[in-house]
Amino acid sequence: MSYGLEIFDSSGNETFSSTDTTWTLLGVYTSNANTSTNHANVPTMPTRIVSRLMVDQVAGDDEAFVHTFSLSGSTLTTTAPSSSETVKTVFMVFGK
Amino acid sequence: MAYGLSVKNNSGEVLIDSDFNHYHFVQTLTHSSVTRVPELIDGPTGSYDQAPSSPNNLDSDQPRGNIYKFIFGSNGAKPPMCFIKPSATGSSAPYASIVLTTQVGTNWEIWVLQTYGASAPTLYCFSPIDQISASTSGTTYGFQTFNSSGDTTFDSRLKPLRVIDSIITTSPSLANTGSSNVGGETNINLSVNVTPNSYTISNAPSDSSDIIYYCPSIAHCCQDKRAYREDDGFQAAGNNSYFFAWARADLWWTFYRGAYRVGANSKFQSSYEGYASGHVWDTDEETSSVFVSIAALALGQWQLAIALAVGASAFTNAAVASGSYYPYENDSRNEGQSNPAIISRASFYT
């Protein structure tokens, strides 16, 4: 590369460079089952994505809705689509 | 930022920010156990004079994938990012996805559902650096950043996560494109036959087997096939001749979870894999002139018997949550929800 940043290990193998992209973890937020929750103080970056994990096992007779969400500014708004069959959801907010 | 380090690329994307704990590679994992949801089967198995006594098991076209369980030691509240390195890629590759991530004591347990019959996948696991106790082997080469408390937030010696692409995915509406009512047909098909949603992977290596992906499953769907057969008539047998009537109803269903693969031409594909499958049936036969019970079946009362049989097919004491896995009929949940797939390369971490 003619400009930028390259980082090598002691064997000369590249471990990271500015030609890579990555996602930095900005925060982890949990919304409990069947409950809508607003999460504040979410750090900002130019680009963010939200990955969801259904934390508990999907039970055999459960409709298992995942929380929906919107991310605006420093607030992550999460909504339980069902008041009885929305699973506990972990939100991982990444930025770059 | 008032202090510290922020590294951006030409697009203004942040690559390193010393304020945040970056994900770093911890280890590759092989599964510690494998299981499947038990077959969900219930119905009368007696012999009949005229009524059919089969099929009494799952159809070969009812998928039921393997569930691989992995144990990841990371004592912290932030979940690991475990990338799936599939055992195969291409147009015949199995679908696989993380269907459960849960903290058990000081470990995280990760379940990966994958098409039955394929070799087991491998996981490449990453944790935020504040949850890593891995050794840096005494090397003093590399690059570190620290936050305002003096804690390390990035360390090149621990192989920070490098991403080649990220894709916003959704899941198809349903896994199987056939109709529910199959008339009197008992050779049913609940295989995953929907066209997958396909996405181009940018910066994909020429060797697609090098691709690893992080995209936990959130979508699921449940579909069934319903068959109904009946007949009546006179059976001539000398002094033992008799009138007969019979009816049989069969219900097959499969519960699918959203799953992914690296398809042909390095396309990232979103579809489903079977998680649980069941088959229940009810048979009624009369060898007299009394047709009351048969008429009831013909009028649809069999649905009640079938519903009871679905409940009876549930199991307990297995390695997965008990139940019938028939939470709704011919529909899906969470399929339209955006689900980011983060793509990297296994060779970055060897």
Q: Does A64 touch chain B (CB under 8 A)?
A: yes
Per-residue model confidence (pLDDT) at position B286: 82
Query: For residue B319, what are the domain limits?
Result: 25-133+157-349
pLDDT band at A16 (very low <50, low <70, confident <90, very high): confident
Residue in chain B nearest A44 by alpha carbon: B14
Give the minimum alpha-carbon distance from B174 to chain A in angstroms, rounded to a whole number.
Answer: 15
Q: In whole angstroms, give the CA distance from residue B304 to residue B312.
A: 13
- The tokens for A91 are 């939100």
Q: Assess B276–A contact: CB distance below 8 Å, yes or no.
A: yes
Predicted pLDDT of residue A18: 78
| Cβ of residue B15 closer than 8 Å to a chain A Cβ | yes
Residue B47 included in any domain: yes
Nearest to B324 among A61, A63, A94 (CB): A61
- Asked if residue B139 belongs to a domain, the reply is no
Q: What does the pLDDT read at residue B315?
A: 67
Contacts B166 to A, Cβ<8 Å: 21, 23, 49
Nearest to A58 among B16, B77, B220 (CB): B220
pLDDT per residue over B272-288, tens digit each? 999 999 999 888 888 87
Q: Could you report the per-residue pLDDT of B37-48, keeping only the tens digit for each?
A: 999 998 888 888
Give the tokens for residue B240.
């033992």
Q: Which residues of A touch B159 (CB under 8 A)?
A: 15
Q: Say if strands B40-42 and B267-286 run parallel, antiparallel, or are unpaired.
A: parallel
Number of folded domains that form chain B: 1
ipTM of this predicted structure: 0.92
Residues of chain A in contact with residue B320, where contact means CB-CB under 8 angstroms, are 57, 60
Q: Is residue B7 part of a domain?
A: no
> Is the CB of A59 inside 8 Å of chain B's CB atoms?
yes
Does B150 fall in a domain? no
Which of the pair, B256 or A19, is modelled with greater confidence? Answer: B256
Residue with tokens 């579809």: B271
Report pLDDT digits (tens) over A27-75: 999 999 999 999 999 999 999 999 999 887 677 788 999 999 999 999 9
CB B115 within 8 A of CB B96: yes
Cβ under 8 Å to B: A residues 21-50 = 21-26, 28, 43, 45-47, 49-50
Residue B19 lies in a domain: no
Q: What is the pLDDT of residues A77-92, one digit of tens each?
A: 999 999 999 999 999 9
Look at residue B64 and tell me if it is in a domain: yes
Please report the pLDDT score of residue B290 as a whole number.
46
Residue B13 in domain: no
Taking every pair of Cα atoms in chain A, the longest distance, rounded to a whole number of angstroms, is: 58
With CA atoms as reference, the chain A residue closest to B319 would be A57
Which stretches of chain B score pLDDT less than 70? 1-2, 75, 134-138, 289-309, 311-318
Which of A28, A43, A62 has its CB closest to that of B79? A28
Q: Residue B299: its pLDDT value, please?
A: 43
For chain B, where are the E strands, in sequence order? 6-8, 14-17, 23-29, 33-35, 40-42, 66-73, 81-85, 96-104, 107-114, 122-128, 144-146, 152-155, 165-169, 197-200, 211-214, 220-235, 242-262, 267-286, 331-333, 339-345
Q: Which residues pair with A35 in a beta bridge?
A: none
